[in-house]
């Protein structure tokens, strides 16, 4: 599973987004992780819309595609979070996350086990 490094940050859509090639100095952390190359091959950034309730669904932390229609059957934004309809293999444990973008707190992750019918419901937070 991926480990969240640093804190989630919120940037309004109007603030702009800059993508630039990382300088070599940013990549010299590889020896700390036992990697013999001078640079990590990529950086992964996720963008999520903030719902009217102030929460953003950030999805599965251990996936390259954290929010997918192959996993989510439905998403309902409630007064304080989301109700998720999940799908997957029977017995599979699915961990999803959301962040209170207005509150500035750490993301919340919860798990559900997919039932025999291939579905589950998960309430976040």
pTM above threshold 0.85: no
Q: What is the largest CA-CA distance in the chain?
A: 50
Give the per-residue pLDDT at 44: 66
87 and 119 Cβ atoms separated by less than 8 Å: yes
User: What's the CA gap between 41 and 38, in Å, rounded?
Assistant: 9
Residue 69 Rama label (left phi>0; alpha psi -120 to 50; beta): alpha
Please report the pLDDT score of residue 26 as a whole number. 46
DSSP alpha helices (H): ranges in the chain? none
Question: What is the rounded CA–CA span in Å between residue 35 and residue 45?
Answer: 21
10-residue block means of pLDDT along the chain (125 residues)? 43 53 49 52 73 92 87 93 96 94 86 97 94
pLDDT digits (tens, 9 = 90+) for 36-49: 444 555 666 778 88
Sign of the Cα pseudo-torsion (80, 70, 13, 109, in order)? positive
Residue pair 74/97 in contact (Cβ under 8 Å)? The answer is no
What pLDDT sits at residue 46?
Answer: 73
């Amino acid at each position: 599973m991926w480990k969240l490094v640093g804190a989630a940050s919120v940037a309004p859509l109007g603030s702009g987004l800059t993508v630039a090639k990382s300088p070599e100095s940013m990549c010299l952390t590889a020896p700390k992780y036992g990697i013999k190359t001078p640079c990590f091959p990529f950086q992964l950034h996720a963008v999520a819309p903030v719902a009217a309730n102030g929460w953003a669904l950030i999805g599965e932390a251990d996936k390259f595609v954290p929010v997918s229609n192959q996993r989510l059957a439905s998403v309902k934004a409630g007064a304080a979070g989301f109700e998720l309809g999940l799908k997957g293999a029977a017995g599979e444990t699915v961990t999803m996350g959301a962040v209170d973008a207005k509150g500035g707190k750490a993301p919340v992750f919860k798990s559900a086990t997919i039932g025999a019918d291939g579905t589950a419901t998960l309430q976040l937070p």
